[in-house]
Amino acid sequence: MTQADYRKDQANNHKEWFFTAFGSNEIEQLRNIGIECQADHQYFKNEILDIFGCIQNRKLKKLDHLYQKFIERYIELIPTFLVHQIDRVMLENDAYYAAWFFNRHCFFMELEREREKSLLTNKSKLFLWSPVIDIHSPKECEMYENKIFSSYEILLEHAVIHWEQPRRGCRCALLVLNEDNANKRIESGQYTIWKS
């Protein structure tokens, strides 16, 4: 699936959910607090990111019956094996915890997109595991700082383990680099190749 197809798919799913979940009065209530269906907006990338933005909205939190529908949708968008692990109180009250779910989604989306691309082009790319390290990050993220993975399979193994249970504060991202760019940074010592 190309990036444009993916985005179109996401926009359609989101639109369908939005206009099924809410009646016209509710849509009006949402509009009054600045929430509208963003599916056709040029910055709309994927649904989980959009819903995450909504569940951080303080005005929406005050309209609990509507807020709960956004929470339900956020939960619907994550893999089922994670659903029973969710701490719903934290999901509603802790942005670092809630963000983990969309960060996970984006990490695997990038991985999958690159795998599909490499099957088509046969060009190898390198992956940079890019955590945010600060006082909120769990220690499990630290070992991946500035690490480059050259093997999709090894990266996938680590990704599956790293993202198998919610970790508050983990904001790991995956960046795809072309070889020249990555090699320059490896030579300069900024990045190192993951060895295991």
Name the minimum Å distance from CB 2 to Zn ion: 28
Q: Which of 132, 150, 149 is nearest to 141 (CA)?
A: 132
Name the minimum Å distance from CB 76 to Zn ion: 23
Give the residue, chosen from 48, 78, 98, 170, that forms a contact with Zn ion under the rule CB under 5 A: 170
Q: What are the Cα distances from residue 23, in Å, to 9, 26, 82, 85?
A: 23, 5, 30, 31
Q: Does 128 bind Zn ion (CB under 5 A)?
A: no
Give the residue, chosen from 141, 155, 159, 174, that forms a contact with Zn ion under the rule CB under 5 A: 141
H/E segment holding residue 171: none
Name the minimum Å distance from CB 64 to Zn ion: 31
Q: Does 11 bind Zn ion (CB under 5 A)?
A: no
Nearer to Zn ion, 55 or 172 (CB): 172
User: Rounded to an integer, what distance in angstroms lies between the CA atom of residue 36 and that of residue 15?
Assistant: 10
Give the residue, chosen from 91, 99, 148, 172, that forms a contact with Zn ion under the rule CB under 5 A: 172
Structure token digits, residue 186: 């490896």
List of residues 6+ apart from 96 with CB closer than 8 A: 136, 168, 169
Residues forming the site for Zn ion (CB under 5 A) = 131, 141, 170, 172
